[in-house]
Chain A
Amino acid sequence: MTMLDSRTAQAGTLESMDCLVTVTGPADGRVIEISGSSAPRFKISMERRVNDVLDSLGCDSGVRVAVQDNGALDIVLGARVEAAFVRYREGDVR
């Protein structure tokens, strides 16, 4: 795998009740990184949500998903992960 194959896509913002999701790949398996205001009390459920969304979108290749959170509720996190992953998959890199 060459460096040229590496891609990054983002969705979301760092505004209140939102989160910024960055999907990078390819990676060695699925890597999820959670940081930000909800992380101390919701890390496990946030990881679960990210996994559920990726599974539902049929993600079976290795990707790194970084969530910078500023108080996103579960549905917002899910929406941001979905938008970022779809952009990543469709090569819509920004």
Chain B
Amino acid sequence: MERSAVNREIPSHIEGYGDVAGRLYEGAFARTPSGYRSGPRIRSSSPHDGSKLTGGVKEAIMAAGVKSGMTLSFHHHLRGGDHVVNGVIQACAELGITDLTIFPTALFDVHKDIIPYIKSGVVSRIMGSVNGAIGRLVSEGGLSSPVVLRSHGGRPRAVISGDVHIDAAFIAAPAADRAGNISGQMGRSACGSIGYAFTDAEYADVVVAITDNLQSYPISPISIPGVYVDLVAVTDSIGDPAGIVSGTTKVTRDPIRLLIAKYASRLIEASPYFMDGISFQTGAGGIPLAVTAFLKEAMKRRDIRASFGLGGITGYFVDMMKEGLIQKLMDVQSFDLEAVRSIASNPSHIEISADWYANPWNCGAAVNMLDVVILGATEIDMDFNVNVCTEADGALLHGIGGHQDTAAGAKLTIIAQPLTRGRIPCVVDKVHTVTTPGEVVDAIVTEFGVTVNPRRTDLMDACADFAVSRRIPLIPIDELAERAKKMCGVMEPIRTSDRVAAVVEWRDGSVIDVIRQLEK
């Protein structure tokens, strides 16, 4: 048994993952790269016919040479509307291919269709975020190898450094031409940014674009050029538009969420980063969106403009850019129709890859330029460690997303979350799973006020000095935990077995924690 720097017991060897000794989490910035980047097979295409059309998905799988035991990669830019993962796995099953490792950026509830193929052995291993039904299956021991969870930045790092070698990448392409140029910006399945797919296109041995919108050569704009793409498969539908993008994002009217958002926005306004040129990432959740709305008021009141907004982009950010309150958007994932329209038409709305967004092992990811990030959590503990992966019952239900990367990169990392969800407290003595270490978390905001990490005395002073009329209630972490305990009572323990169901990697590839299988 080993112990990571956040005091978690981790087996020295994890069956189906490997030796942990030597890659135990030692600190947020402890592990640094050496040596050279890994690389894919070199290939060429024929000089007189650049067409890569191969027919449908099944033909493409055969042409790509997919065999049992290989690693296939997928991306979640079509989110809950994606048909590509299910389609490819089903076709592999029909072709008699088994024992696949799938390497998705994330799987959602829509992908529960692959559960029968997990049970029948077509898929034997998952390295990637699992949400919902598949997460529960994994927690209950439904997969023989542990799931490996990586952040949005940790995943391209693993590819580039050679931790993961991709045999074939299947990229959902809302628009493509016969030479394999790809864009996410047009077509019935338009999703905006396809930033999660970039690194896989560059590093996979074979790259297959799957499209329901074949256009004449060359398409424009091009996100991923055909120089990386081997094959183009055409299918009726790569996704359900209703699940790909949401409608107009509206700011919540839920008073508790608004209260939390108000305190978070005041904390940002009181911080030293609230000045012309500020940058932030707030995402699409109820509280973060409301923080953005309050921040917008404060920016107008204090005549401040932001240099850029980062990450998953919503129509709300787009509107702020139109109003001149944000100058640039750096978009790894476009959440709604407004964001999709904007990235396709406004040069200040920049499509970035997950590598560019968040990888700790390149020459500078965008997160390192970030001032403020608002994040969520299922649990936070007395050491400010954050769990976003497991739910109250101990089941793995959420991926890491950009949580680790933005928390590590930003100057001010705020976790904004109600103190309780029903009777379940969000602030606890010890989180069930450490996703992000307290070392990179600066403040927690709940309906009871702002809880500043004690190492950030500067923030505490800034809050105390803030205008009386815009009061920021400060509450220490132990008081917050005590309050939660008094309200909810003491939780009964989660019963787990010793078997590791999932490994949580820190963004640098070290093992920060493991998620153990639940006892029946």
Which positions in A face B, CB cutoff 8 Å? 16-17, 37-38, 40-45, 69-74
Contacts and interface: CB of A to CB of B under 8 A. Distances in A.
B422 A71 contact: yes
Interface of B: 392-394, 420-424, 487-492, 494
A37 B492 contact: no
Contacts of A44: 492
A16 B422 contact: yes
A40 B392 contact: yes
A41 B393 contact: yes
From B420, B421, B422, B487, name the one whose CB has the most chain A CB atoms within 10 angstroms. B422
23 contacts: A17-B422, A37-B392, A37-B423, A38-B422, A38-B424, A40-B392, A40-B393, A40-B394, A42-B423, A42-B488, A42-B491, A43-B492, A44-B492, A45-B489, A45-B490, A45-B492, A69-B422, A71-B421, A71-B423, A72-B422, A72-B423, A73-B487, A74-B489
Given A37-B424, A40-B393, A42-B492, 10 more contacts: A38-B423, A40-B392, A41-B392, A41-B424, A41-B491, A42-B491, A45-B490, A71-B420, A72-B422, A72-B423
A43 B494 CA distance: 12
Q: Would you list the 10 A-B pairs with minimal beta carbon distance, nearest first? A: A71-B422, A40-B393, A41-B491, A38-B423, A71-B423, A37-B422, A45-B489, A41-B492, A41-B392, A44-B492
Contacts of B423: 17, 37-38, 42, 69, 71-73
A17 B394 CA distance: 21
Chain B interface secondary structure, helix, strand, loop or mixed? loop
Chain A interface secondary structure, helix, strand, loop or mixed? mixed
B429 to A, nearest CB: 13
Contact of B422 (A43, A45, A70, A74): A70
Contacts of B393: 40-41
Contact of B489 (A17, A37, A42, A71): A42
From B420, B490, B491, B492, name the one whose CB has the most chain A CB atoms within 10 angstroms. B492
A72 B492 CA distance: 16
A70 B488 CA distance: 13
A44 to B, nearest CB: 6
Nearest to B490: A45
From A41, A43, A71, A73, name the one whose CB has the most chain B CB atoms within 10 angstroms. A41
B424 A71 contact: yes
A73 to B, nearest CB: 6
A80 to B, nearest CB: 13
Nearest to B421: A71
A73 B278 CA distance: 41
Contacts of A72: 422-423
Contacts of B489: 42, 45, 74
A43 B492 CA distance: 8
A17 B421 CA distance: 8
A78 B421 CA distance: 19
B485 to A, nearest CB: 12
A6 B262 CA distance: 52
From B392, B489, B491, name the one whose CB has the most chain A CB atoms within 10 angstroms. B489
A41 B493 CA distance: 7
A44 B493 CA distance: 11
A3 B35 CA distance: 80
A38 B424 CA distance: 7
A71 B425 CA distance: 10
Contacts of B424: 37-38, 41, 71
B492 A73 contact: no
A71 B423 CA distance: 4
